[in-house]
Amino acid sequence: MSTGDAPETEDKVRCEEALSEIYLLLDKECSPLRDAELRRHIEDCPPCLEEYGIDEQIKELLHRKCGGDLAPAELKSRLRASIRQTVATRGGVTLERTEITVEQRTGE
């Protein structure tokens, strides 16, 4: 575990870093290098390995119990409109919507 009084080297991952990035690791949102660094730390640090295991189980449980639910199209549409309105009024930004159609032509 790397939270002791020993000085840390720049290339070592500290427990605080590993714990704060567990969900990035679980969601495969880390670069390959960072993934390897975090996994190396977690494998060598029992408290971080335990926390990783707990978070992994929570994520799997949530996926099993809530993974199939999709928001209704009407709700998505209302949320998008609300976000656009909030951005426009608070940010002083004008939003434009552009429709693009792509056609594929074959062997002319």
Q: What is the pLDDT of residues 52-104, one digit of tens each?
A: 999 999 989 888 888 777 778 899 889 888 888 887 777 665 556 666 677 76
Q: What is the mean pLDDT of residues 14-25?
A: 90
| Tokens, residue 80 | 């998008």
Kindly state the percentage of the chain with pLDDT values over 90.
33
- Strand ranges (E), 1-108: none
pLDDT at position 97, please?
Answer: 63
Flag whether pLDDT at 11 surpasses 70: no
∠7-10-11 over CA atoms, to 5°?
115
Kindly state the percentage of the chain with pLDDT values over 70.
75
